[in-house]
Amino acid sequence: MRWTQASICGPPPARPDPGSADRWSKRGAHVAAVKQYDAVVIGGGHNGLVAAAYLAREGLSTLVLEARDVVGGAAVSEHPFGPDYTVTMLSYVVSLMPPSLVRDLRLAEHGYHVFPQGPYFAPRRDGRYLQLPRDPAARRERIAPFSARDADAYDRWDAWLDRLGAILGPLLQQVPPRVGSRRPGDLVRQAGLLRLLRDVDERAAVDLTRLLTSSIADLVEDRFESDAVRGALAVSG
């Protein structure tokens, strides 16, 4: 299907009175402005921009439509604290961004750079604060004043997420296979999925179901007793 700009801009003007040459000329100008595209992407957020970029790489004429006056969606950089301080408003981490996307779109050539995330800092109303360094020993030392039990539980939490992430991570860039299809491409994808899932035991299946169907509040309440730790993990994921 080919889209036209006319379908984006709305229907053409109504047929004018036969004696109105001026109106006919305006309608002719409208029709002359019609342009065809191979693909139209609705929404100029980060997902829309990536999709449009890959379509354009394949030689398709692509139009991106965005309601705001700036593109980027959740990844847009703005100045909420003043003109000298630029922050990404929502997507402040890029842990799920595939390295292949960075390479394919040559993002580094356009200024893309990743800054390592520093220690998480969560101030408390009572004047205390919780800091979560990357070093496990330092992290346990920071958590222990709030809860010695949580200091130990954090390492188990990390290991639990790492195990489930190793299962889910490879699936993020895969097209789901059509189960039951006999087409060669679908059979290859089905076989690949079976190889990936053969190491998923009953416990892992239960944990995956729990992770995918529970809120973050339920998950952290089951594993931590301190509100400080629960709050920090609920925000940072």
Cα gap 128→147, rounded to integer Å: 14
Over residues 165-179, mean pLDDT: 81
> Tens digits of per-residue pLDDT, 15-69?
445 554 454 444 544 544 568 999 999 999 999 999 999 999 999 999 999 999 9
Cα gap 200→190, rounded to integer Å: 16
Domain membership of residue 204 (yes or no) is: yes
Over residues 205-213, mean pLDDT: 91
More confident site: 224 or 236? 224
More confident site: 210 or 177? 210
- Label residue 189 by pLDDT band (50, 70, 90): confident
- Label residue 237 by pLDDT band (50, 70, 90): low
Query: If DSSP codes are grouped into helix, strand and coil, which group holds residue 137?
Result: helix
Closest to 154 measured CA to CA, from 223, 68, 67: 223
> Tens digits of per-residue pLDDT, 135-145?
999 999 999 99
Q: 68-82, 148-162, 193-207: lowest mean pLDDT where?
A: 193-207
Do you know the residue count of the chain?
A: 237
Over residues 10-15, mean pLDDT: 41
Cα gap 156→179, rounded to integer Å: 35
Q: In this structure, which amino acid lies at residue 20?
A: S
Q: What is the mean pLDDT of the chain?
A: 83
Number of domains in the chain: 1
> Is the separation of the CB atoms in 88 and 114 below 8 Å?
no
Cα gap 44→52, rounded to integer Å: 9
Instruction: State residue 33's pLDDT score.
Output: 59
Domain membership of residue 144 (yes or no) is: yes
Nearby residues of 77 by Cβ (< 8 Å), 6 or more positions away: 86, 87, 88, 89
Domain membership of residue 128 (yes or no) is: yes
Alpha-helical runs (H) found in the chain: 5-9, 21-32, 46-57, 99-104, 136-143, 148-168, 184-197, 202-213, 216-223, 227-236
Domain membership of residue 154 (yes or no) is: yes
Dig out the tokens for 88 from the structure: 């990404």
Q: 30-34, 105-109, 117-121, 152-156: lowest mean pLDDT where?
A: 30-34
Domain membership of residue 65 (yes or no) is: no
Domain membership of residue 102 (yes or no) is: no
Give me the percent of the chain exceeding a pLDDT of 70: 84
Domain membership of residue 96 (yes or no) is: no
Domain membership of residue 220 (yes or no) is: yes
Range of the structural domain that residue 156 is part of: 119-237
What's phi and psi for 36, nearest 5 deg?
-100, 145
Burial group, residue 52, by CB count within 10 angstroms (0-12, 13-18, 19+):
buried
